[in-house]
Structure 1
Amino acid sequence: MIHSPFFIYMTKKIKDNESIKPLINLLKVGQVSFKALDKFPFIYKLNPKAQLLKEKFLKIQDMSNILYLPDQFNEIFAKHGWICYGALSQKVLEESVKLGLENKIDEAKKTLIDSIDEIYIDLILIKCQSREHFKLRIDLLTLLKTDYLEKRYHACIPLLLAIIDGLANDISNHIGFFTESSQFELYDSITAHSSGLPFLKEIMNSSRKATNIEEITIPYRNGILHGRDLNFANKEVASKCWWVLAALIEWADERRINKQKNQESFLEILQSYNQTSRLNQRIDSWEKRTRKGSIFWQNQTTETLEKSSPEYTLLEFLQAWKNKQWGKLTPTLLHTIGKHQKKETKDIKVDYSSIDLLNFYIINSNDQSPSSTIIKTHLDYIKDRQNFIKEVSISLNYAHQDNGLPELRNEPNGKWFISQNSLSEILF
């Protein structure tokens, strides 16, 4: 009997990953143990700690369904062009699987497509800013974001496919995403599990030898770029291209870590799982701050703002720029994280000293995501002996201070950083 590649991929389960399987086994052991204890209820009276332990176990058991969701997601949606990846929103994961299991596939598809919105793409762009190879393509990706949001799917789909191929080529030593020899499976991974990114690559790389005028819903690379699939320009195909790019970021991060087998204890796994679960809950419960009017913001200074706010960081940055204190600019810029600060300060002085900043104030501030805010700012400056007055939308990202990866605002290891890309129009 010959099995399809999909069947072969699906016989391997994400729940059997080294970092997940011990936790599932522990839950099974706990389930059997407490069933046995329940037959002797007097034990709980003799030992109240046993009752507390059971209550904690039941809470963990209630949350344990998430351990099975990645497999369920891939079983339902991989053949349609979506795969589960490590950074996928728990809310989207749970909602889509629930709909899928209820056989409401069209509703589930709409949930997945609509999840690729401006906030989702902004998070991708933030991640790209701090990663080798990805940051080289920020300008193109920013243009593609505009194309996608303005429904120019015919423009963004082919270029996203080309960028995905080029990124895989750069990361894996000149082996593109769509080449037959490319290998994307990684040990102990959700994203790069055999049922995930490797399987999706096979689908997208399908041979498309005949010209087709029927609408497609999978981003077939060969059909689109070779002009065989002519009716490809729709939101579903475009959203799946962004989805693949998000998964590729996860794959690149995990590939760099090169995870090996370890002897992590059950307790460590439980602690890690609980931390991740709590973080996901905080992300899902995050809400934008109430927007203030321009009069409010024009009256704000570093004396009136909270030090933990993005607006405080921006005003400190602009004041240092106005005072030509180049050393104070360096640790505030996102692209300098992890680099030699003295060397970066020399480069920053070259970039910023050509502009005399005369005056500035905030016009408005708009939270974009749990880790990003865009602040429209009035800048009055002199450059090349000419006076300019401009409104500039300056992007700030809340990121880990050591590696530049996005953090949920106000997490202890993070701080606000300025994205120099948002100032490029006046700097260069």
Structure 2
Amino acid sequence: MANIKDNYTFKEMQHTAQGLKDMYSLAKILGLKDENLEKKFKGNDSLFKQFEEMAQIPDKFNNFFSERGWIAYETLNFDLMKKCVGLAENGKIDEAEEALIEYYTNEDAISIWTSSLMHIKQFRPRRTLTLNALDDHFNGRYYASVPLFLMMIDGFVNDIEQKGFFAEGIDLTVWDTIAAHKSGLQTMSSIFGKGRTKTTDEEITLPYRNGILHGRDLGYANVKVSSKALATLLALSDWAKAVNAGQKGIEKEFVPPTLEESMEQMSTAVEQLQENERARAHMDKWERRKLEIGIDIPEKGEATDYEEDTPERAVVSFLNYLEKNNYGHMADLLSKFQIKGKSKKVLAGELRKIFKGKKLIDYKLEAVKDDAPAISEVFFCLTFEKDGGKRIEHNGKLRLSYEDEKGDIVARGYKKANWKIMIYEVRQLETVGLFSK
């Protein structure tokens, strides 16, 4: 079986790096001096080392940890993988597992990835149950989180492949991926899907789907099992994105690029790595704001009363537009990530339907909660007037993500982006007052 380092992208990167190294060496041997070339290579030894690590670490990680229920995937923190591989190579694999568990029980560390998962169209119907499972997981209620994670895993895959994650004959491999390499999710499917025919209350350390959901493995409610199930669910996010991007079924072979193409690819790769490092450094400095309504920000006002580039300003703008029934401007404030393919006119029509028969006549903000560098929630009390004049108060919230012009989620303040409201939160307002007399 080919290794992850043999993936198309890694081969491309390795070929580019080696070609440029050879070219630089040849230039020095021939005594050629080129300031442009010198500039590109000066201090880049560490960069070449990063390339090599990026290609080697995922294979090493899976070799050490897949049998224990952990796999490498694209959005898994690379420094964490590298640290765990280093510990395992020094005979400290149990210590490495503790580091993994610490990561998957840190809500701040993975919240941006769980939010990204819920943006995938096939996963959106599972949002509420997944939020419940995450709440159970982070609060130690593993008896509840594990079965929910397993159900979300199975159903999510079924909606994409028409076969569940644990089904016999399921093919979870996707061209040029880490998560969907044969040593990744395919291996997890085999391990977690093993038959469990004996009832036991002994503690297990792997989320055996059949044993747990069929009531045979009664000792499943622990942090290891829950964390491994959550890790698999997050890995499936990268798998689903690759499938939705059309990568499944491709068998494209790597063809070495020309010298000019190599230079361009190397430059792009260097810039991307530097960009990733800057983004990570920015996220490490992020801190939650502590806002008190009525002191730090007003409970109601015009958008200009709130600081620019904040989630509360976006929500107040949305509510101000709602008071005026300006559904077009409201549509502009919706998450681009979630509404790809829908025109502004269609979205405005959907918003009009949601608020049909309900006129917003008053509101007040109650709290602002920064969940992650790119995710915030704004809580409020809304007062609607229904057809007929009856007034209804509703306490609720809107969840927002910080998105660039392409709809990609970025850390707050890292680069130019805008706070956008997640439409599934808005849709919940359709039922406000539905059962009131």
With the length of structure 2 as denominator, give the TM-score of the two structures.
0.84
Matches within 5 A, 1:354-369: 354-369=357-372
- Tell me by how many angstroms 1:25 deviates: 3.2
Question: Is the aligned partner of 1:408 residue 2:407?
Answer: no
Report the AA paired with residue 242 of structure 1: L
1:23 aligned residue: 13
| Partner Cα separation in structure 2 for residue 341 and residue 53 of structure 1 | 45
2:44 aligned residue: 57
Counterpart contact for 1:127–1:405, Cα < 8 Å: no
Question: Is the aligned partner of 1:398 residue 2:402?
Answer: yes
| Partner Cα separation in structure 2 for residue 337 and residue 360 of structure 1 | 30
Aligned match of 2:177 in 166, 186, 189? Answer: 189
Report which stretch shifted further, 342-351 or 229-238. Answer: 342-351
Question: Is the aligned partner of 1:273 residue 2:276?
Answer: no
| Partner Cα separation in structure 2 for residue 91 and residue 382 of structure 1 | 53
1:236 aligned residue: 224
Matches within 5 A, 1:24-423: 24-31=14-21, 43=31, 48-49=35-36, 51-64=38-51, 65-116=53-104, 117-119=106-108, 122-172=111-161, 174-259=162-247, 260=250, 261=252, 265-281=261-277, 282-286=279-283, 287-294=286-293, 295-298=295-298, 301-334=302-335, 335-383=338-386, 385-389=389-393, 391-402=395-406, 404-409=407-412, 414-423=417-426
* Structure 2 portions without partners, runs of 5+: 432-437
| Partner Cα separation in structure 2 for residue 179 and residue 133 of structure 1 | 18
Report the AA paired with residue 197 of structure 2: K
Counterpart contact for 1:85–1:247, Cα < 8 Å: yes
Among all aligned residue pairs of Structure 1 and Structure 2, give the percentage whose two residues are the same amino acid: 26
2:434 aligned residue: none
- Tell me by how many angstroms 1:274 deviates: 3.3
- List per-residue Cα deviations over 1:245-287 (Å, max 9, x = no partner): 1111211111122234265643454345335423432135311
The 1:159–1:289 alpha-carbon spacing in structure 2 relative to 1, beyond 3 Å, is closer
Q: CA RMSD in A?
A: 2.9
| Partner Cα separation in structure 2 for residue 391 and residue 191 of structure 1 | 40
- List per-residue Cα deviations over 1:52-81 (Å, max 9, x = no partner): 343153242243223322122112211111
| Partner Cα separation in structure 2 for residue 206 and residue 93 of structure 1 | 26
Report the AA paired with residue 296 of structure 1: D
Report which stretch shifted further, 300-309 or 232-241. Answer: 300-309
- Kindly tell me the number of residue pairs found equivalent between the two proteins: 413
With the length of structure 1 as denominator, give the TM-score of the two structures.
0.85
| Partner Cα separation in structure 2 for residue 152 and residue 72 of structure 1 | 32
Counterpart contact for 2:302–2:320, Cα < 8 Å: no
Report the AA paired with residue 325 of structure 2: K
| Partner Cα separation in structure 1 for residue 38 and residue 120 of structure 2 | 48
Counterpart contact for 2:368–2:378, Cα < 8 Å: yes
- Tell me by how many angstroms 1:413 deviates: 7.7
| Partner Cα separation in structure 2 for residue 279 and residue 353 of structure 1 | 45
- Tell me by how many angstroms 1:125 deviates: 4.4
